[in-house]
Homo-oligomer: A and B are copies of this chain.
Amino acid sequence: KGIQPNESLLASNAGKDLKIGIVRARWNSSVVDPLVDGCVQSLTTLGVAQSDITHVTVPGSFELPLAAKCIIEQNNLDAVICVGTLIKGETMHFEYISDAVSQGIMRVGLDSGVPVIFGVLTCLSMKQALARAGISAGTESDVKSSSLPHNHGLDWGNTAVEMALITKRATYIKLDE
């Protein structure tokens, strides 16, 4: 479920000494909180110290890119995970926010050279969002097998460590070919 973390990373306590930021949006905290828990779980499993994780809370997802840029500069971080949940409503707010936030997160990463992980769910229903936070089985079609839903936050923690190693230490992981 989800994408498997790189095995050599897991073996090597790769996240040791990395400084990671997590910016979370306060909206839809029933989804965002378990996603952040998932991020922290995978970060610490990979060796990141709890004291090396900087937490920031912002009101909504639109604020994620600026906060990411800000804490990168203030704290000399190796990667930031932006966690938010956007759910389609009656107006077009969802579409324009989702677009601006996804482009904004990409921009902050490219401007700074520091990985900014896209941990924003863009869902058509709360049920879809809950399933991706690992706390509800959702509909049958949401979870194609009979297994429990996967907390996407686990992937984002792994991604933050892996990308920090690539950008900071030029540790490229070659596959056998």
19 contacts between A and B (CB under 8 A): A37-B177, A55-B174, A57-B173, A57-B174, A58-B162, A59-B155, A59-B163, A66-B163, A69-B113, A90-B124, A90-B128, A90-B141, A91-B123, A92-B98, A92-B123, A100-B105, A103-B103, A104-B110, A110-B111
- Inside 8 A of A124's CB, which chain B residues have their CB? 90-92
The chain B residue sitting closest to A26, CB to CB, is B3
Residue of B nearest to A114 (CB): B66
Asked if residues A110 and B60 are in contact (CB atoms below 8 Å), the reply is: no
Pick the residue among B71, B96, B106, B107 that contacts A62 (CB under 8 A).
B106
The answer to whether A102 has its CB under 8 Å from any CB of chain B is: yes
Q: Report the Cα distance A107→B109, complex, angstroms.
A: 12
Interface residues of A in 68-98 (CB under 8 A from B): 69-71, 74, 88, 90-93, 95-98
Alpha-carbon gap, A117 to B3, bound state (A): 24
A145 to B161, CA, bound (A): 43
Docked pose: A141 CA to B56 CA in angstroms = 33
Contact residues in B for A56 (Cβ distance below 8 Å): 166, 172-173
Q: Which of B26, B57, B102 contacts A96 (CB 8 A)?
A: B102
Please tell me if the beta carbons of B174 and A115 are within 8 angstroms of each other in the complex. Answer: no
Contacts of A159 in B (CB 8 A): 59-60, 63
CA distance A96 to B124 in the complex (A): 13
